[in-house]
Amino acid sequence: MDPILAPTAVAPEEQSRSRSTAAAVFKPASWLEGYVAQQVAGAAAALLLAYQERLEIGDLTSGTKRSGAELVAEVLKLRNFLLGRVDDFEAMARRGGAAVLRQNCNELSTATCAALVDAVLKVVAEVARQELN
């Protein structure tokens, strides 16, 4: 299993402690920043699901393919819309996406959340490059 994408095993006492002292709840500066964070976190969760399906059954289900593609397409639309409107879309998406993913999947380490969000943003950038050609 890829150590970057694999959920980090946490000892039971550490797990209960981390839930009680979880990081502060993500507070977006605007509804748009919150929406970007939700979509990026959703795409990252779909990526993790795809990775797990590939390991367990050797392929992806059609539902995972479809939802992952829809989420990536939405992040791409947001990226294109916000070009020139926000200073750094990737930084906003990375910060918010990782925070929302961590809040909703507290069994994942901070590093795993960041790696998943980075992978989503790489996919989005690649799709954007392909659209230009």
For 1, the token pair is 């299993």
**Is there a domain that residue 67 lies in?**
yes
CA atoms within 13 A on the CB side of 66: 3
CA distance 105 to 113: 9
Ordered per-residue pLDDT tens for the chain, 133 residues: 444 444 444 444 444 444 444 456 788 888 999 999 999 999 999 999 999 999 999 888 999 999 999 999 999 999 999 998 988 999 999 999 999 999 998 899 999 999 999 999 999 999 999 988 8
Task: Find the domain containing 126 and state its range.
Answer: 29-132
What domain count does the chain have? 1
**Is there a domain that residue 21 lies in?**
no
Between CA 66 and CA 68, with CA 67 as vertex, the angle to 5 degrees is 90
- Which residues face 86 on adjacent strands? 83
In single-letter form, the type of residue at position 50 comes to A
